[in-house]
Amino acid sequence: MLNKSIMDGDNPDLTEERMKGAFDTDKMAAVIYGSEKFAIRRREITESISRIPQLADSKPFSFMTREEKISESCRKLSVLSEHWNQLIDTNNEEEALHLYREVLGLEGHAFSLHETMFIPSLVAQANDEQQEKWLGRAKRREIIGCYAQTEMGHGTNLRALETTATYYPSTQEFILHTPTETALKWWPGALGKSSNYAVVVADLVIRDTHYGAHPFMVQLRDEKTHNPLPGITVGDIGPKMAFNGADNGFLGFNQYKLPRDHMLMRHSRVEENGTYTKPPHAKIGYSSMVKVRSRMAMDQGLFMVSALVIAVRYSAVRRQGFLDDKSREVKVLDYQTQQHRLFPSIARAYAFIFCGFETIQLYDQLLIDVKNGDTSGMSDLHALTSGLKSVVTHQTGEGIEQARMACGGHGYSMASYISEIYGVAIGGCTYEGENMVMLLQLARYLVKSVELVKTGKSKELGPMMNYLAEPDTQIDLTSGPEAYVKVFQHAARRQVWKATDKFHQLMESGQSRDIAWNNSAVELTRASRLHTRLYIMETFIRRVSSISDVSIKKVLIDLVNVHVNYEVLDIGTYALEHVSSTQLDSIRSQLYSSLDTLRPNAVSLIDSFQISDMQLRSVLGRRDGHVYTNLFEWAKASPLNQTHVLPSVNQYLKPMMDKAKL
Ligand SMILES: CCCCCCCC/C=C\CCCCCC(=O)SCCNC(=O)CCNC(=O)[C@H](O)C(C)(C)COP(=O)(O)OP(=O)(O)OC[C@H]1O[C@@H](n2cnc3c(N)ncnc32)[C@H](O)[C@@H]1OP(=O)(O)O
Ligand SMILES: Cc1cc2nc3c(=O)[nH]c(=O)nc-3n(C[C@H](O)[C@H](O)[C@H](O)COP(=O)(O)OP(=O)(O)OC[C@H]3O[C@@H](n4cnc5c(N)ncnc54)[C@H](O)[C@@H]3O)c2cc1C
């Protein structure tokens, strides 16, 4: 059996799809998740969870209030606490994240930021003694932490954060203070009600000198009563577009005293007498953000996959309209428009996940290098992850929204759960640096790279930048995916140079650097996007070329073909400089035939992600494909259907109708 999801009693339309798949889904899972070992561990963890009934949702999530969602996730966390060690290797971050996704889903919970930013901040920023004191406690979950940086008035411009941490040598303490309303910390996940500790980012002040944003370990609540400590104002910021299982919070300090050794001092130090030692790299304190950005291609890829699992499975059981055979309606997955809506996103999701593996490894390596005193890789990774987080979050949002529309009316129902996936994923366009701002961070790096080429220093170009120094060449589009890489290189190079030239010309015309930058910003963001999409394409092709299993490689090459054709057409306006409109027509034909080629493997390609029904929380995306019966059951469970006559009918509608009858 090639597709391991085939089960007796499943919807025959889905079974038929799974029989058509030309590759082994377990083998594909090993490729997706980086190793056979981890793919097996994922399945084992999912299987073990299913044997603990208390970890199941106590009722459909979509019918829960915000308070119920928060209470439900806390209940499950307490059940999990009895099983951590038997379920996962607690030192393995990927296993922990898989466990969280399976049991708690994506709407957030008390530990939302604990694993993703609080512990990583301690790992990267705390010195050995501080790690000794707090890291073990955090890992054992004796304390719950979050990452409190953004303020009501400033998120993007970290240099303008208003919260101060003023050091007094006489008492060897910092005083944390919130000088204005806009200085209130605002947004941190799990801050409002759950966390009792936070890594707080504040402006370090010593003897009236401001040293800028630095991280501090701060206790917020009493460990026995969970009440806020004196001098601390903390609470929930209210409901959000999605992610409402998380208590994103506000936080204010009123002259709150903090011992000297609570500043995280791996890289910068304040001595007892107030002497300040600066870090080896000015932006080293930003590392927790780079850590999350380096994960975002993977995490967003998985968000997009969840929506695609739902849309592709549903499209294989939804029958509507006719093609040749007028005796039976077709699966909507057979329509070219449906395939065009979904398959390029499947390709992007695979590509994002392969990029994600690469950037996660790059971050882990950087962490080791920085510990050994080598900060030289920081700029490269900052530039790469800034562009990548911006492109993947935007394209993931587009892909999920198309997946929702591909499910027709039922996609709009919470029964599909796609709107929740969209709401959570789209937050990624904003958190960890607003997308435009991060594209402009990459643009700084691109402009500097062009300046190196212009001044004859091409040898100093960073990784992935050599193409900026290369001349345009003839492109032979029949020579395979590499030709499409060339098209992207041409388009990205041209746009990067064009934007840089514009910026330089504006400065030469007398504009200040900042004004010239602002007046070139749209062109600069375009350059960043093209450069990043080139990186994604190259990584995808490189990863697929490295695969040895013949059947897996074949279907992934089909997927690469969908990707490269779609991507080049999508940047048609830039590509036109290098590709004729006749060539674009031929790319269009190739795209349509590559959709056709991929069609028999569509369900197996998304089954390979092995996302459980528990995690998916979608009636439309059920693995067994029994959509209609369960849709009716789901609707019957609506709180509105627990009584025939609602109180509001008796109170308002009936009297109104009765009055109208008189
Ligand atoms: C459990 C399952 C997991 C799945 C996921 C579930 C979903 C999770 C849901 C929710 C999680 C939410 C987590 C979100 C948490 C947050 O949002 S935390 C807050 C994040 N905040 C930001 O990202 C703020 C963005 N702003 C910045 O990063 C900076 O202000 C800035 C980089 C935009 C500017 O910094 P500034 O200090 O003003 O520097 P510049 O003058 O612009 O640049 C000077 C040079 O420094 C270089 N640089 C900047 N940053 C870095 C860095 N990190 N590393 C290396 N270098 C850096 C910059 O490129 C400049 O270099 P040049 O001078 O050479 O050009
Ligand atoms: C779901 C979610 C979870 C979050 N979790 C956390 C958390 O755990 N901890 C935490 O500290 N924070 C958290 N945040 C806050 C988040 O990091 C910030 O909202 C984010 O960094 C954007 O900053 P901002 O809100 O100040 O946006 P703004 O900077 O105010 O953005 C508004 C507009 O201004 C534009 N803009 C701003 N500056 C520039 C510029 N220099 N050039 C061009 N355009 C510019 C932006 O592009 C955008 O269009 C979270 C946010 C969300 C939505």
- Check the annotation: does 356 bind a ligand: no
Active site residues: 432
Is residue 100, in this structure, part of any structural domain at all? no
Here the tokens at position 656 are 């109104």
Angle between helix axes 378-406 and 287-317 (nearest 10 degrees) is: 20
Is residue 364, in this structure, part of any structural domain at all? yes
Same domain, 434 and 546: yes
Domain boundary among 233, 257, 281: 281
Same domain, 266 and 290: no
Strand partners, 197: 145, 219
**pLDDT tens, position by position, 533-579:** 999 999 999 999 999 999 999 999 999 999 999 999 999 989 888 88
- Based on the number of CB atoms within 10 Å of its own CB, is 261 exposed (0-12), middle (13-18) or buried (19 or more)? middle
Would the CB of 441 count as within 6 Å of ligand 1?
A: yes
Strand partners, 257: 175
Q: What is the CATH number of the domain that holds 256?
A: 2.40.110.10
Here the tokens at position 477 are 């589009």
* Phi/psi at 501 (5° precision): -60, -40
Same domain, 268 and 326: no
Q: How far is the CA of 146 from the centre of ligand 1 (A)?
A: 17
Domain boundary among 262, 281, 300: 281
Same domain, 400 and 513: yes
Q: Are strands 232-236 and 185-186 parallel, antiparallel or unpaired?
A: unpaired
Q: Return d(Cα 479, Cα 475) in angstroms, integer.
A: 9
Interior angle at CA 441, CA 439 and CA 443, nearest 5: 70
pLDDT value at residue 556: 98
Q: How many domains does the chain have?
A: 2
- Check the annotation: does 150 bind a ligand: yes
Q: Is ipTM over 0.85? A: yes
Same domain, 572 and 590: yes
Which ligand has the minimum distance to the alpha carbon of residue 423?
2
Same domain, 350 and 449: yes
Is residue 62, in this structure, part of any structural domain at all? no
Average pLDDT over residues 5-16: 95
Is residue 318, in this structure, part of any structural domain at all? yes
**pLDDT tens, position by position, 245-299:** 999 999 999 999 999 999 999 999 999 999 999 999 999 999 999 999 999 999 9
pLDDT value at residue 476: 86
**In the chain, how long is the greatest CA-to-CA distance?**
91
Q: How far is the CA of 156 from the centre of ligand 2 (A)?
A: 5
Would the CB of 156 count as within 6 Å of ligand 2?
A: yes
Same domain, 183 and 323: no
* Unique residue bearing structure tokens 């749209």: 522
Is residue 90, in this structure, part of any structural domain at all? no
Same domain, 149 and 272: yes
Q: Return d(Cα 141, Cα 119) in angstroms, integer.
A: 10
pLDDT value at residue 224: 98
Helix (H, G, I), strand (E, B) or coil at 613: helix
* Unique residue bearing structure tokens 């998985």: 302
Same domain, 407 and 440: yes
Is residue 380, in this structure, part of any structural domain at all? yes
Is residue 443, in this structure, part of any structural domain at all? yes
Is residue 23, in this structure, part of any structural domain at all? no
Same domain, 244 and 314: no
Q: What is the CATH number of the domain that holds 401?
A: 1.20.140.10
Same domain, 259 and 293: no
pLDDT value at residue 605: 98
Same domain, 521 and 415: yes
Rounded (10°) CA dihedral 502, 504, 509, 510:
130
| Cα distances (Å, whole numbers) of residue 634 to 322, 619, 627, 640 | 29, 8, 10, 12
DSSP assignment string, 535-596: HHHHHHHHHHHT---HHHHHHHHHHHHHHHHHHHHHTHHHHTTTS-HHHHHHHHHHHHHHHH
The whole domain housing 372 covers 284-456+485-628
Is the pLDDT score of 1 beyond 80? no
Which among 11, 562, 2 has a CA at the least distance from the CA of 315? 11
pLDDT value at residue 525: 98
Would the CB of 157 count as within 6 Å of ligand 1?
A: yes
Is the pLDDT score of 70 beyond 90? yes
Domain boundary among 232, 258, 281: 281
SS3 letters across 154-189: CCCCHHHCCCEEEEECCCCEEEEECCCHHHCEECCC
pLDDT value at residue 576: 83
